[in-house]
Amino acid sequence: MTEPALNDPMLPMPFVVVENIKNNPDCTLLAVRPVDSSHLCLYKPGQFFMLYAFGYGEVPISINSDPSLKHSLTFTIRDVGGVTAALCALEPGDPLGVRGPFGNGWPMEDLAGRDVIVMAGGLGCVPLRPVVYHLLQNRKDYGRVSLLYGSRKPEAFLFNKELQIWKRHIDVRLIVDDPAPNWDGPFGHTTDLVKNLEIDKDNTSVMICGPEIMINLSADKMLELGIPPQHVHISMERNMKCAIGQCGRCQFGPDFICKDGPVFAYDKVVERLLDIKEV
């Protein structure tokens, strides 16, 4: 057979880097566009793509773009290994491969008319940035909106300029793990930011992303405050190679994180996350 395999879900599309911005010491914001503009696909906040650095390999990275900007995709990548280092080193004009989008995304359609609490820990702010943009652009469709964002160090906050702008429209609360000389805000855990937060427990939805321990603590805090677990949504991370439910690696009990997630309502996963180790 000489015809190319049509619709091979493992074949990346050629993209090029438009912009590379150092977000903070170990994170890079990469804006990319497809070589063939017909390859720019629609995506939902909370979905992810597989980014391929030539010769190094492929990694799953959450979409980070403002969903209203259609001409390019942006990703924030932390340099944690070979592939991510190679991606972070790409310069404008450099080529890369992109597959996606994959996963279910945040349940934006279920949030209309509700108060929304967005809880981010560290890099967990990345998949929540499109959520904040969506909420801001459709501000009248939602009730009170709060962003509770925790970081290890003051200089590790992502999107500093945007945080200042967002503050004008929504309740933005920041916290760092430990006291720091260049920080005049509070220190502690993201969960400490719920103090004085007025919560209508019957009409509030929560979206959480961060390290798994932060997700657990934050979700439990929300349950403690009376928010039903089906309105607490979390985004999870696992090793994955295919993103289409075939490599088997991201299994979490009956679910494949790549296609049944990465976003789950807390009531569906709480037992596997908390009570049972190493699922």
Question: C-beta of 80: minimal distance to other proteins in Å?
Answer: 4
The gap from C-alpha 260 to its chain's centroid, in whole angstroms, comes to 16
Decide: 44 and 106 in contact? Cβ < 8 Å: yes
Taking the least distance from each CB to other proteins, the nearer of 133 and 256 is 256
Question: C-beta of 262: minimal distance to other proteins in Å?
Answer: 13
Q: Among residues 26, 33, 34, 56, which is the contact residue for other proteins, using CB under 8 A?
A: 56
Applying CB under 8 A, the span of 20-28, 145-153, 171-179, 231-239 interacting with other proteins comes to 231-239
- Taking the C-alpha atoms of residue 97 and residue 53, their distance in angstroms, rounded to an integer, is 7
What letter does residue 186 receive in the DSSP assignment? Answer: -
Applying CB under 8 A, the span of 4-12, 66-74, 150-158, 171-179 interacting with other proteins comes to 4-12
Closest CA to 257 of 273, 275, 238: 238
Decide: 38 and 83 in contact? Cβ < 8 Å: no
Bond before 130 cis per omega within 30 degrees: no
Closest CA to 99 of 42, 40, 50: 50
- Taking the C-alpha atoms of residue 207 and residue 190, their distance in angstroms, rounded to an integer, is 13
Closest CA to 86 of 117, 108, 54: 54
* 157 touching other proteins, by CB under 8 A: no
Q: What angle (nearest 5°) sits at the alpha carbon of residue 259, between those of residues 257 and 261? A: 45
* 12 touching other proteins, by CB under 8 A: yes
Applying CB under 8 A, the span of 64-72, 193-201, 217-225, 249-257 interacting with other proteins comes to 249-257
Applying CB under 8 A, the span of 5-13, 128-136, 158-166, 175-183 interacting with other proteins comes to 5-13
* 91 touching other proteins, by CB under 8 A: no
Question: C-beta of 11: minimal distance to other proteins in Å?
Answer: 5
Question: C-beta of 243: minimal distance to other proteins in Å?
Answer: 9
Residue numbers at the binding site for other proteins (CB under 8 A)? 1-14, 16, 35, 54-58, 80-81, 84, 93-97, 212, 237-239, 241-242, 244-249, 251, 253-256, 275-279
